[in-house]
Structure 1
Amino acid sequence: MNHEQEQQQLPRPPATTPTPTPSPAPVTSGESSSGLAVFMLFIGVFAVIAMSSTLSGSNSLAILHQVPEGHVGVYWRGGALLKTITDPGFHVKMPLITQYEPVQVTIQTDQVRDIPCGTKGGVMITFEKIEVVNRLRKDYVHETLLNYGVNYDNTWIYDKIHHEINQFCSSHTLQDVYIDIDEKMKDALQGDCTRYAPGIEIISVRVTKPTIPESIRRNFVQMEEERTKVLIAIERQRVVEKESETTKKMAISEAEKNAGVSKILMEQKLMEKESARKQQEIENRMYLAREKSLADADFYR
């Protein structure tokens, strides 16, 4: 028996049946479409947020926009200002049709720089910086923007400051301009704003001292020094007068006191003399009565 026949006669191992692998459950068309819709919605929201953040300079294309704290959102549609005013936070608008701008309604400081003016005496001076602390009232945002636009402060603060400074300088001396201009500017600005733009509140005006020519400045400083000396002399004279008046009052008071004491002493002496006189009269009457009784006794005896 050859080798091939020996291999055929050897016993063979039992054949093992393969374990069947579970096949995945079939995906229905409804579940796949809903998952795709959620995924597309997420992508759309992400794209809208990205577009609103990247297109901040071109807010007419953005759908979602953010109004920062301390501001309100105002809107234009077709160039017409809408009455819609939004509070801080995220808001949605129609792209390409509605334009949006944030408007500050908290306290802000506007700086107006390099304002030249000529005083009543013909001296040219320059104000380096004028700070106007102001606020736009929230209730008047629509009215103010409707009348004067987003750059309302150009009309009622920047241009107004230039006008009022020149008006004030042309009718006042250098001393008045150098000292009294702060309150004058605040009153002038607030007066016109109250009349024409009541939504603008002028809180304070800070004016830096103007830059004046060196020769005028030296004369002005010297004049202020002389005025200070005069004021010191006047105050010293008032002090001397007060001291003299006080001394005089003290002397009068002392004299009145001495006079009162003398009067009291004199009255006391007069009272003593009057008492002594009355006592003497009583003694004299008693003596006369006694002598008379003695004489009468002698007569009867």
Structure 2
Amino acid sequence: MSASNSGPVPQLHFARSAAPPPPQPPRVPSFRVSLSLVAGGIFIALFLKYALHSVPEGHVGVYWRGGKLLPHITEPGMRLKLPILDVYAPIQVTLQTDKVVDIPCGTKARTMIHFGKVEVVNRLQKAHVQSIIKDFGPEYDKLWIFSKIHHEMNQLCSKSTLQDIYVDKFDQIDEILKEALQADCTKYAPGIDIISVRVTKPRLPAAIVANYEAMEAERTRVNVARERAVVVHQEAQTEHKRAVMMAEKEAETSRIRMQQLLQEREAEQQRDMIQNEMYLGKQKAFADAEHYRVTREAEANKQKLTPEFLQMSFMTAISNNTKMYFGDKLPAMLLELHQILPALQGQLQL
């Protein structure tokens, strides 16, 4: 049964047909492709290094090509230039401070002093960047600020004494240097603005420093004595003013007291005058009343002077007389009185 089916024959045939293909030769990488990739990478690296650059804020970019300044500037940001051929430099156009240090200076008396630091705040105008860089290069401040500071400081010191530089005119040095720098920049390098100058106190030789310290100590003692004299003088003036004020106060008090006394006296006089006037008025009224009474009584008596009334009054007086007179002449006296009464009545009527 196995012979008639002949099964193993097709299996052997299948094995021959499924045999692997013959081996192929190994692949070798292309040298040209690798060289291109390397060249591309090198080009990109060179481009990024030498062509792409950044201009910082507050600056502008200036360029030279083959040593010649190009007639354009760039604003802050990412910029491109030709690699190797173009040279780029950032130029600051905002405020900057240049510090000039250790400046030797000889005074009029040939005393050597040193200024530790001079700070110059300046600014380059954007519109003049091309002309300034073309005439003086990117380090223009070395010529017009650093070197100029040394020159101006030596000029100033050679015309001044140590006392002027160190004490009397020290507060004017800043302004003198600023005006000198700005004058030259305006004349020879327009576009450079000198904003301010700050100068530190100079260093003096040790012997001179000792002398100045002694002078300063003596000046301090003199100032203290002067201030003390001023205080004493002010105290004396204050005491004098206080005494004057007290005297004026006492005088014013005395004047017020005298015025009060005078007013009291005047009031008393006025009161006495009023009392006198009242008394005189009262006496006058009393006198007038008495005069009126006497006048009226006289008028009444005048009307009473009649012979009958006189006779009656005479008789009443005789009767009221308690004394009796005796003698041979008494009747004659009575008779004479009786005869005189009419004449007396006539006189009274007149």
Partner Cα separation in structure 2 for residue 150 and residue 265 of structure 1: 93
Q: 1:271 aligns with which of 248, 260, 263?
A: 263
> Within 5 A, what are the aligned runs for 1:120-135?
120-135=108-123
Q: Which residue of 1 aligns with 2:22?
A: none
* One-letter amino acid of the counterpart of residue 96, structure 2: Q
For the residues of structure 2 that align with 1:143 and 1:156, how far apart are their CA atoms?
14
In the alignment, structure 1 residue 213 sits paired with structure 2 residue 201: no
Deviation of the 1:277 alpha carbon: 0.2
Alignment of 1:253 onto 2:245? yes
What is the match of residue 57 of structure 1?
none
Distance 1:289 1:65, change over 3 A: closer
Alpha-carbon deviation of 1:92? 1.9
Contact 1:49 1:64 in 2 (8 A): no
Task: Please say which structure displays the higher CA radius of gyration.
Answer: 2
Aligned to 2:70: 82
1:167 Cα shift? 1.2
1:118 matched residue in structure 2: 106
Q: Does 194-203 or 152-161 show the bigger shift?
A: 194-203
State how 1:159-198 maps to structure 2 within 5 Å: 159-179=147-167, 180=170, 181-198=173-190
- The answer on 1:109 being equivalent to 2:97 is yes
- RMSD after superposition: 3.4
The alignment status of 1:148 with 2:144, answered yes or no, reads no
Match of 1:29 in 2: none
In the superposition, the TM-score normalised over structure 2's length comes to 0.65
**Mapped partners of 1:244, 1:197: distance in 2:** 64
SS in 2 for 1:233: helix
SS of the residue aligned with 1:223? helix
Change (3 A) 1:69 1:293: closer
Deviation per CA, 1:93-136, whole angstroms, max 9, x where unpaired?
23455432222234433332332222123312223433333332
Distance 1:85 1:220 in 2: 54
TM-score normalised by structure 1 residue count: 0.75
Which whole-Å CA distance do the structure 2 matches of 1:41 and 1:87 have between them? 35
What letter corresponds to residue 91 of structure 2 in structure 1? V
Number of equivalences? 271
Distance in structure 1 (CA, Å) of the matches to 2:190 and 2:223: 44
Residue identity over aligned pairs, in percent, reads 51
2:309 — aligned with what? none
Q: Counterparts of 1:221 and 1:10 in 2: how far apart (Å)? A: 129
Identify if the C-alpha distance between structure 1 residues 291 and 137 changes in structure 2 by more than 3 Å, giving closer, same or farther. Answer: same
**Residue 308 of structure 2 corresponds to which residue in structure 1?**
none
